[in-house]
Structure 1
Amino acid sequence: MQLTDCMQFRTMSAVWLQLGQCGNQLGLEWWQLLTNENAAHQESDRYPFFARDGKLSALCVDSEPKVIRKLQKQIKKGVFRDSNLILGQSGRGNNWAYGLGARLCEAIRDEYPLGYILSVTVAPHQAGESPLQHYNSLLSLSWLQRYADGILLFHNDSVLKRTAALLRNTTAAVAADTQPHISFSSMNTYIASCLAGLLYPINMFKTGSRISMGMEPWELLRSVCPNPTMKFLYTAQACKRGTAFWDSLISSVVHTLPRESASGQPHFSTSVLAVARSNQDNSFLLSQNSVLLKLKQAYRCVTWNPFPVDCWIDFKNIIDPGHHSHSLTVCANHSSVIDLLEWVTEKAQVMYKAHAYLHWYWKYGCEEEDFQQAFDTLQSVMKDYSSVEH
Structure 2
Amino acid sequence: MREIVTVQIGSCGVNLGYSVLLARYLRRARNHPGTWWRAPASTLQNQLFIQRRTHLQLHPPLRLYRHRRRLLDACRSPLRRIFRPDNFIFAEGADSGAGNNWARGYYTLGPRLMDYSMDILRREVESCEYLTGFQICNSIGGGTGGAMSSLILSQLRAEYPKTVMVNYTVTPSAKISDTVVEPYNAVLSFPSLVKNSDLTICLDNEALYDICNKQLRLSHPTYDDLNLLMAKVMSGMSATYRFPARNHLSWSVMRCLAPSPRLHFFVPGFVPLYSRAVQPYVTLTAKELTAQMLGGNVLMASGVGKSPGKYLSAVAMFRGCNVSDLNVNELLCKYETKNSSQFVDWMPYHFMKGIVVTPPRGLRMSATFLANHTASGGLWARVHDRFNKIYKRKAFLHWYTGEGMDEHEFKEASEQLMSLVKEYKAAEGSPPPGWKSPEDNPVFKKVLEEEKMVRVIDIVTIEPRYAILKVFRRSIQCVNIWGFDCMGC
Match of 1:147 in 2: 196
Question: Which stretch of the first structure deviates more once superposed, 224-233 or 240-249?
Answer: 240-249
- Shift of residue 205 of structure 1? 7.8
Pairing partner for 1:191 from 213, 218, 230: 230
The answer to whether the aligner puts 1:90 opposite 2:117 as a matched pair is no
CA–CA distance in structure 2, aligned partners of residues 232 and 371 of structure 1 = 21
Residues 202, 314 of structure 1: 8 Å contact kept: no
Pairing partner for 2:174 from 104, 118, 126: 126
Pairing partner for 1:109 from 149, 157, 166: 157
CA–CA distance in structure 2, aligned partners of residues 250 and 97 of structure 1 = 44
* Greater radius of gyration (CA): 2
Residues 240, 354 of structure 2: 8 Å contact kept: no
Q: Superposition pairs for residues 306-385 of structure 1, below 5 Å?
A: 306-318=348-360, 321=361, 323=362, 325-385=364-424
Match of 2:5 in 1: 15
- Shift of residue 125 of structure 1? 2.9
Which ranges in structure 1 are unaligned for 5 or more consecutive residues?
A: 1-10, 169-178
Letter in 2 for 1:93: G
Structure 1 residues 198 and 13: alpha-carbon distance in aligned structure 2, compared to 1, 3 A threshold: closer
Match of 2:51 in 1: 51
Structure 1 residues 44 and 389: alpha-carbon distance in aligned structure 2, compared to 1, 3 A threshold: same
- Shift of residue 286 of structure 1? 5.3
Instruction: Tell me the TM-score normalized by structure 2.
Output: 0.66
Residues 45, 243 of structure 2: 8 Å contact kept: no
CA–CA distance in structure 1, aligned partners of residues 76 and 421 of structure 2 = 40
The answer to whether the aligner puts 1:167 opposite 2:216 as a matched pair is yes
Q: Superposition pairs for residues 287-302 of structure 1, below 5 Å?
A: 287-293=327-333, 296=336, 297=339, 300-302=342-344
Structure 1 residues 295 and 98: alpha-carbon distance in aligned structure 2, compared to 1, 3 A threshold: farther
Pairing partner for 1:220 from 254, 274, 283: 254
Match of 2:270 in 1: 237
SS in 2 for 1:274: strand
Letter in 2 for 1:360: W
Residues 270, 367 of structure 2: 8 Å contact kept: yes
Residues 316, 352 of structure 2: 8 Å contact kept: yes
Pairing partner for 2:314 from 257, 272, 275: 272
- Shift of residue 247 of structure 1? 3.1
- Shift of residue 25 of structure 1? 0.3
Q: Superposition pairs for residues 195-210 of structure 1, below 5 Å?
A: 195-202=234-241
- For residues 314-356 of structure 1, the C-alpha deviation after alignment (integer angstroms, 9 at most, x for no partner) is 11113xx2x4511011101111222221111122123222111
Match of 1:74 in 2: 78
Letter in 1 for 2:357: F
Structure 1 residues 340 and 389: alpha-carbon distance in aligned structure 2, compared to 1, 3 A threshold: closer
Question: Which stretch of the first structure deviates more once superposed, 375-384 or 239-248?
Answer: 239-248
Match of 1:135 in 2: 184
The answer to whether the aligner puts 1:389 opposite 2:428 as a matched pair is yes
Structure 1 residues 183 and 324: alpha-carbon distance in aligned structure 2, compared to 1, 3 A threshold: closer
Q: Which has the higher contact order (CA 8 A, sep 6+)?
A: 1
- Shift of residue 204 of structure 1? 9.0
- Shift of residue 215 of structure 1? 7.7
Structure 1 residues 70 and 138: alpha-carbon distance in aligned structure 2, compared to 1, 3 A threshold: same
Structure 1 residues 199 and 300: alpha-carbon distance in aligned structure 2, compared to 1, 3 A threshold: farther
SS in 2 for 1:234: strand
SS in 2 for 1:359: helix
SS in 1 for 2:240: coil
Residues 3, 49 of structure 2: 8 Å contact kept: no
Letter in 2 for 1:315: V
Structure 1 residues 204 and 302: alpha-carbon distance in aligned structure 2, compared to 1, 3 A threshold: farther
